Amino acid sequence: MAESALKRLLPQAPQALLRILDGARGPVQQPVRSEIFGLERFAQHGHSLGETHRAARGSWRAATFFPRLRSNIHTLREAHHYIGLQATSGYDISPAGEWLLDNFHLIEAQLKEIHEGLPRRYFRTLPLLQDEPLAGLPRIYGVAWAFVAHTDGAFDEELVLRFLTAYQETRELNLAEMWALPTTLRVVLIENLRRLAERVATNKAAREAANLCCDRLDSFSVGSLDELLALLEQRGVGRSFLGQMALRLHDLRRTTTTTTIDIAPFEAWLQVQLPDLASLRAQQAANQAADNLSVSNAVTSLRTIGDADWPDIVARSSTLMRLMLTSPVFAAEHSLTRDQTLHGIERLARRSGHSEVSVAQTLLDLKHGAELDNPAAGVASHWLHGPGRPTLLRALGLHEAA
């Protein structure tokens, strides 16, 4: 309905502009951006976030998570298409828009990696947040969201390490969550790029709508401008429209000596709608600079996340890994053997309802108590897959069949 009203008011508008400004889509969401934290503040935040994150096992919202990812992909492509059309038509494009145009191939490649790195069966095993605003989504998604928000999307290994370590002082993350973090960070960065791209495209479309109005001002009345502004407010871009109207009306007043159009009523209307033009200009400049930085950070981070030493990050920040590395035997083992041990601990944790750290501590206690009399008992596989397994199962309250 809103799109048809726009078409009636702007009959010469291209279909791409009408779709982007369709008020039925609701207001453009704000970027994932908050106060920027340094190392110490991140440690404090990680600690407090761990205290507030209540999570449980259960049926997670695949119906929320994957459709949102698909929606992000669709909106990114739509915004990219519109910004590209504007650029090829000779219109000025903001720096954030140029970043999106120049790097969209990278974003497309990352989308493919995300799909490959997000098997539904894997994410079904992750603990889910119980409280809004992210209730029903994986807890690690909340961790990734907080990290992106408080770094403005700029990836830094030391900050990740500090954040994860502090978080787990109050709330243990399991190993599956730790390994899901790289892909989940990409998902949140794509969410942020969607918001930024939609913001760039929608504000650009609102300014173009103002140009279309001023190109045929004789067909408008103050009442029709009120109606158009109300439709644009549904997308949250009314002030962008007003700012461009102010620029165009000023140009008309400056360059037109004789005209059949009396622009005074429109200037009076604009003065009522936008009494703070200077403030708007300052806010638009600040938003544009902030959006440019956010887009460049997100694009750069999509590249660098894959280059990070995630095995080292996990080993240094995972509570389970740090506990297991207190065993000299485990520390000296080949990575494949370590992985087998860790997967065994994960499986027993899921079956028993104990945390992974609790299972690991039980295993280490049994190992330490028996290895002096039986050197073979000093190896984790003795308890996970060998003769010591029944003893470990009983200690965890499980039966042999488990």
Question: Residue 192 maps to which CATH number?
Answer: 3.90.1200
**End of a domain among 150, 183, 204?**
204
- Out of 159, 188, 204, a domain closes at 204
Q: Supply φ then ψ for residue 398, to 5 degrees.
A: -110, 160
pLDDT band, very low/low/confident/very high, at 402 (cuts 50, 70, 90): very low
- Does 54 lie in the same domain as 197? yes
184 and 54 co-located in one domain: yes
Contact 289, 295 (CB under 8 A): no
pLDDT confidence of residue 57: 74
Q: Which domain holds residue 330?
A: 318-395
Q: Which residue has the higher pLDDT, 387 or 118?
A: 387
Is residue 278 one of the residues assigned to a domain?
no
Q: Give the pLDDT score at 144.
A: 97
> How many distinct structural domains can be found in the chain?
2
Task: Kindly tell me if the per-residue pLDDT of 190 is higher than 90.
Answer: yes
Is residue 222, in this structure, part of any structural domain at all? Answer: no
Domain boundary among 178, 204, 230: 204
Q: How far apart are CA 97 and CA 204, in angstroms?
A: 10
Q: What is the pLDDT confidence band of residue 268, given thresholds at 50, 70 and 90? A: very high
Q: Is residue 121 one of the residues assigned to a domain?
A: yes
User: What secondary structure does DSSP assign to 244-268, as a single string?
Assistant: HHHHHHHHHHHH-SS-SS--HHHHH
Written as one string, the DSSP assignment of 85-112 is HHHHTT----HHHHHHHHHHHHHHHHHH
From the CA atom positions of the chain, what is the Rg in Å? 28
Query: Tokens 């000779």 identify what position?
Result: 90
Whose CA is closest to 241, among 14, 3, 17? Answer: 17
pLDDT in tens, 58-112: 665 555 666 678 889 899 999 999 999 999 988 888 999 999 999 999 888 888 7
Nearest C-alpha neighbor of 169 from the set 363, 347, 357: 357
End-to-end CA distance of the chain: 59
Domain contains 111:
yes
Q: pLDDT tens for residues 111-167?
A: 878 877 666 666 777 888 888 888 888 899 999 999 999 999 999 999 999 999 999
Whether residue 329 is found in the same domain as residue 200? no
- Residue 160 CB-half CA count within 13 A: 26
Is 295 contained in some domain?
no
Q: How many Cα atoms sit within 13 Å of 12 on the Cβ side?
A: 11
Within a domain: residue 196?
yes
CA atoms within 13 A on the CB side of 123: 25
CA 276 to each of CA 199, 228, 280: distance values in angstroms, whole numbers, following the listed order: 22, 20, 6
- Say whether both 328 and 194 belong to one domain: no
Give whole-number Cα distances, 257 to 74, 216, 250, 313, 326, in Å: 47, 17, 13, 68, 85
Q: pLDDT, tens digit, for every residue of 218-246?
A: 899 999 999 999 999 999 999 999 999 99
For residue 366, being part of any structural domain is answered with yes
Question: Do the domain assignments include residue 308?
Answer: no
